Amino acid sequence: MRPRLPPRKPHRPRPPTRALPPPPATGPDGVAQVGLGPRGVERWKAGHPWIYRADLLAEPTLPGGEAVRVVDARGWFLGKAFYSSRSKIALRWLSFEDVAIDAGFLAARIAQADALRRTLFPGETTYRVVHGEADLLPGLVVDRYGDQLSAQFLVQASEARRELLADLLVAHFHPRGIMERSDVGVRTLEGLEPRKEVLFGEVPERVEFDEGLVRVTADLRGGQKTGAFLDQRENHLLAAQYAKGQALDCFSYLGGFALQLATRAQQVTAVEISEPASAAIAESARRNRLENVEVVTANAFDFLRDAVDEGRRFDTIVLDPPSFAKNKGAVEAALRGYKEINLRALQLLAPGGVLMSASCTYHVDEEAFEAMLASAAADARRRVQIVERRGAARDHPVLTALRETRYLKFYVLRVVD
């Protein structure tokens, strides 16, 4: 006989899950609130300082630039952030605490950022003071050149607090002038127009500062970035330690590497496509009494190809090109460009020669860049050692939760055969 089965329980449909009501538009203190969906909450708790618009519960009716309370679907408080109404990055982290985002808060963050630099560079007055999110001041970049500051306001929130931030910078640093260099394309993602003007006091056309044995110039009003490439400052000094014999600096710009190479190398060829920048290199070499610098105004790709065809040899080469990829879609083309110049450089190096190769393209990470270097070495039929892996100078700290702040790669390579 078959065993008798227990009677089936009658099916009772589960009651429908009640949707949580959206969190209030404002908190108990009247500050606007923005709710996060599950993915946004997970990202926030993981420590990433950027929350994308797609991870919000709903689109807030805010003009943009506000410091808002961040809550989950239940209305539970998560922290404070700057809100953007235009960018894909809707929220930029400020604090896990329910604190007022006022002048005192911002002044403390500026002082905290500068304290690191004063520890790293005692007695020096040229460095990056504020490195945006890495210094917990989203959308604000400030470089110091002695008694001059150069500032960028990159997002709606820092733009909205432009005058306040300028006042705080004046109160902390007592500069003679502040040059605003917000003439960068990233502002358009925030619905902001590029802007370049004197924000405070008097700003000269150029300022001078020391890098090791060399006196260099920054163009605050018209130069790239905020006037100079401070992120490469420590790598400039490193280049002098490796310099020897016949040296080549491609994409030289104002000669940051070329001038350092010239303090140790027998002869330096600086290749720069811009005629005004080439003239500036020659003038800097003259002022520093470096008579072993030859400036060539040319496209670096063409120069490298022609130098290989001519059978030239160099003992030290520096490649510091501009970014080859502004987005992920351009990575493949960027890697082809990087490979071409590194392949040519490896073909030009004498045995025992040193190549210092840089990339400021965030979308090409260390793994991809190193794989490109290995491929270039194989195609050049050279055995190559990696001597050092470096990044930006220490005044450009990297936030552990934000890999975007680790954008610069700088490799020191030695050709063994």
Clarify whether 250 is annotated catalytic.
no
Among 254, 360, 399, 413, the active-site one is: 360
Residues 6+ apart with CB under 8 A from 153: 139, 140, 159, 162, 165, 180, 182
Q: Could you count the other beta carbons within 10 Å of the beta carbon of residue 189?
A: 14
Rg of the chain on CA atoms, in Å: 26
> What does the alpha-carbon distance between residue 260 and residue 395 come to, in Å, rounded to a whole number?
20
Residue 240: closest CA among 217, 214, 216: 214
| Cβ atoms of residues 68 and 32 within 8 Å | yes
CA atoms within 13 A on the CB side of 249: 29
Residue with tokens 């982290």: 93
d(CA 306, CA 151): 40
State which amino acid sits at residue 37. G
Indicate which residues carry an active-site annotation.
360
